Amino acid sequence: MLVRGWLICLCLGLGPLAVAEPRFPPPDFETEYQIPEEQYAPARALWVEYLDVAVLLGALGLASWFVARRRSRKAVLGLSLFSLLYFGFFKAGCVCAIGSVQNVALALFNPTYAIPLTVLVFFVAPLAVALFFGRTFCAAVCPHGALQDLILVKPVNVPRWLAQGLGVIPYLYLGLGVWFAATGGAFVICRYDPFVGIFRFSGSLTMMLVGALFVVTGLFVGRPYCRFLCPYGVLLKLAAKVSRWRVRITPDICTQCQLCEHSCPFGAIREPVVTRRDPRELARERRRFAALLALVPVLMLAGGWLGARFSGVAAQFHPVVELAELYLRHQTNPPSTPLPAVDALAYARAERDADALLANAVATRRQFNYGGWIFGAFAGLVVGAKLARYSIQPRRTDFEPDRGACYACARCFEYCPQERVRLGTWPAGEPIPGIAIPPSQGALSRKGTV
């Protein structure tokens, strides 16, 4: 498990975790041999951490300004390239806002772990900005998103029903990452990050292949990791839902031309829904929504039960439980052949203090069981809330980005005829495309600027 601990630390750039326990402790020598003192890489200089924080805050400010005020796709692209080079390849993906979720979870549930201030800023700052300007962190600051956005060459549309179904996965991945981090099992979000190997030009063969798969998919599907896997994106999405100043496609008049909808490779543009509806249909919709809402507690209970059943398997990823399993397995079924040297040392060390090891393993399993109930209930809540949410039809008068799903990439700005008229780039005398819709249905509606 020492290798696991170092993998986690490499992802976070924080040094070995205080809670990690070596899978194979050093042997007890009967001679006067002195075990050499362990050598660790020197900690990063404090000014380097301050520089990372300053670059993060500066990039967030610029991204918000480029999207909300300048409304410039070119400026967003330039900042994306800088973020990819700095936070991605130069900093090797560390410190990462996506992985910081696990540090926060560990700090909340383990009083012996002190979260570094730099990591805390990387966790809080993008969320704070999303509360005011939407997901501008995703637009031009996150290296994962920047890489996927820059390689997109021929986007294809993902069916809405499929995108909504796959959209549940990030919530489950977030719950799983928090569960494992809070119990001290592993930092799974960092360990299985598909882009870290690309940023470092090294890694296990499996993760390099997974990263290559995401890159190839990202050539045709807009931001597959961001949309269907990123756990930090869940928190950004919730924050952006209540953002003070949301992204608007056009600051003045929507002509319903649909060019913005076709320009978005992420399916984030929502079409107008202004049709007058029969009162009986509205009543059926409300009853359906109430029934699905009542189903949520049942789903939470079923999910909690399934999570508790899965907790036994999940607990085996913890080093203490894994070592206890090795000890018990060899006690009940002694191997017929000599153990490998590393396993023999681990078994001998566990045998000397078996009672404490087994008691610690039982306590750890109990924590995983509690965590399994919470994780399962959270999964049931997500599924139930999604079903209830999609059972009702909102009303919209214009083509507008969904606040949570929009990555603020600024593509749609360049396609909007009204935006080009405002900027003076629309050809003089050329008619503005649009769809003739009676004014009573909101064909032309004025809106305020950001």
User: Taking 60 as the threshold, does the pLDDT of residue 438 lie above it?
Assistant: no
pTM: 0.81
Whether residues 210 and 166 share a domain: the answer is yes
Q: With respect to residue 34, please indicate whether it lies within any of the assigned structural domains.
A: no
Q: With respect to residue 39, please indicate whether it lies within any of the assigned structural domains.
A: no
The dihedral sign for the CA sequence 103, 367, 179, 296: negative
Whether residues 347 and 415 share a domain: the answer is no
Structure tokens at 120: 């805390």
Separation of alpha carbons 250 and 414, rounded Å: 10
- Confidence at residue 36, expressed as pLDDT on a 0 to 100 scale: 61
Q: Could you read off the pLDDT of 5-44 as tens digits, one per residue?
A: 433 444 444 333 334 444 445 555 555 556 566 565 566 7
Whether residues 241 and 129 share a domain: the answer is yes
Whether residues 79 and 155 share a domain: the answer is yes
Query: At 357, phi and psi to the nearest 5?
Result: -65, -45
Whether residues 195 and 329 share a domain: the answer is no
- Element at 270 (helix H, strand E): strand 269-270
- Confidence at residue 71, expressed as pLDDT on a 0 to 100 scale: 87
Whether residues 187 and 326 share a domain: the answer is no
Separation of alpha carbons 446 and 444, rounded Å: 7
Domain residue limits at 332: 283-390
DSSP 8-state assignment for residue 440:
G
Q: With respect to residue 33, please indicate whether it lies within any of the assigned structural domains.
A: no
Whether residues 87 and 182 share a domain: the answer is yes
The dihedral sign for the CA sequence 417, 419, 421, 424: negative
- Element at 269 (helix H, strand E): strand 269-270
**What's the whole-number average pLDDT of the chain?**
81
Whether residues 259 and 351 share a domain: the answer is no
Encode burial over 45-62: b for 16+ CB neighbours within 10 A, e otherwise.
eeeebeebbebbeebbeb
Mean pLDDT of 268-275: 75
Calculate the CA 12 to chain-centre distance.
15
Calculate the alpha carbon distances from 83 to 13, 55, 140, 151 in Å.
18, 9, 7, 15
Whether residues 190 and 287 share a domain: the answer is no
Whether residues 105 and 151 share a domain: the answer is yes
Whether residues 400 and 386 share a domain: the answer is no
CATH of the domain at 428: 3.30.70.20
Separation of alpha carbons 337 and 2, rounded Å: 25
For 253, the 3-state DSSP assignment is strand
Cα 297–Cα 300–Cα 305 angle in degrees, nearest 5: 130
Task: Tell me which residue has tokens 């249905």.
Answer: 441
Q: With respect to residue 42, please indicate whether it lies within any of the assigned structural domains.
A: no
For 224, the 3-state DSSP assignment is helix
Whether residues 380 and 401 share a domain: the answer is no
Number of domains in the chain: 3
